[in-house]
Amino acid sequence: MKLYSSLTQTVEEFKPLKKDTVSLYVCGITPEGPAHLGHAFTNVIFDVLARYLSYQGFDINYTQNVTDIDDDILRKAKEEHQDWQKLGQFWTDKFLNDLESLNILVPTHYVKATDSIKKIIEIVSDLVKKGFAYEKSGNVYFAVKKFKTYGQLSKYTKKQMLLLSKERGADPNDANKKDPLDFILWQKAKLGEPSWESPWGKGRPGWHIECSAMINTYLGEQIDIHGGGRDLIYPHHESEIAQSESFTGKKPFVGYWLHIGMVMYEGEKMAKSLGNLVMVSELAKRYSANTIRWLLLAHHYRRPWEFEYAEIEEAAERVLSIQKFLAADNHTKLDNQKMKNFAEIMDDDLNTPKVLDLVLSFLGNQENKETVKQILAILGFDFSS
């Protein structure tokens, strides 16, 4: 199998750290609102990857996080006069229901950031001790100049990184920082906000350190695949590399970085700030899980694409034609050569659009019924009812 690595920007042969096991981590949600089609695209892609690797004989240790303590959650809870924990749990449950409605398997470990506070404090303490981090006024920052390859994943210039970090919630003008690019590992408690005891006083974790802690706990010091949306490359994943490799001393932290293309709507990336969201729960009122999954897998995971209702209508027609094909009262044998063709396409950087075309090409011959059923099952479709 070959996969595109965002780090090397090349398609590489996939070689896991252990012969029969794959460790996979995917950045999950900040639960302060409903799941949209961009969330669904990321989760369906990694669901298919996990299913396919299982089909190929690997044991999958798949961990996904829930960022249940975050500036956005606290802001939303304050706006709605709600308890931040209840708000987070409400939207986490809604999100899991949306995933289940799309026949997405729950990861091996589904972990809240607040369950990893002890590990977070352990890692931050170690980074301070080693000189990779420093404390100032109750905050702890990672010193990027101490990590010589900072920027290796994103390939951005310092100027670009400063612009993006400001865009994505950091404060380059923070007077406590030694360098504007330094990022926060632990932040001092603010009045009325949740906090935990630490060596630097009461506070809560920064965004990036949460994922490093959860990966270290549930998957180990080095992992095979780390995934997430393309918008997480900088600063989130760039910072994860710096803090994780500084903590463990082991490189590379991740074997293969897989990043999912952005889903667009009305000419812009789907975003809460723009309000151009297509909600999974709303689509599910009109279209089946198989139709939504077909729509998503008709796009290569690395490429951005624009949602259009005409395309999901087309997906619905494709799914209906498959339902009719599979409804025929006959029993056929699995075609091993056709399954081999399927595997060759999947092994070419998870080319799901080409696999769907392959499936459609089989519909003209009822002898292909068992083969079509097998391929669709591996892709996570459910035509049982």
Q: What angle do CA 125, 130, 133 make, to 5 degrees?
A: 65
Which one is predicted more confidently, 1 or 169? 1
> What pTM value is reported for the model?
0.95
Query: Which pLDDT value is given to residue 172?
Result: 87
Does the pLDDT at position 268 exceed 90?
no
Give the sheet arrangement for strand 133-136, strand by strand.
133-136, 139-142, 183-188, 203-205
Phi/psi at 363 (nearest 5 deg)?
Answer: -70, -15
Neighbour-count burial of 231, counting CB atoms closer than 10 A to its CB (0-12 exposed, 13-18 middle, 19+ buried): middle
pLDDT band at 366 (very low <50, low <70, confident <90, very high): very high
For residue range 69-127, list pLDDT tens digits in order.
988 899 999 999 999 999 999 999 999 999 999 999 999 999 999 999 999 999 999 99
Which one is predicted more confidently, 385 or 98? 98
pLDDT band at 331 (very low <50, low <70, confident <90, very high): confident
Query: Which pLDDT value is given to residue 272?
Result: 73
Query: Which pLDDT value is given to residue 329?
Result: 81
Separation in Å, CA 9 to CA 4, 157, 215, 258: 7, 17, 23, 10
For residue range 183-217, list pLDDT tens digits in order.
999 999 999 899 999 999 999 999 999 999 999 99
Q: Which domains does the chain have, with CATH numbers?
A: 2-8+18-263 (3.40.50.620), 309-378 (1.20.120)
Query: Which pLDDT value is given to residue 275?
Result: 77
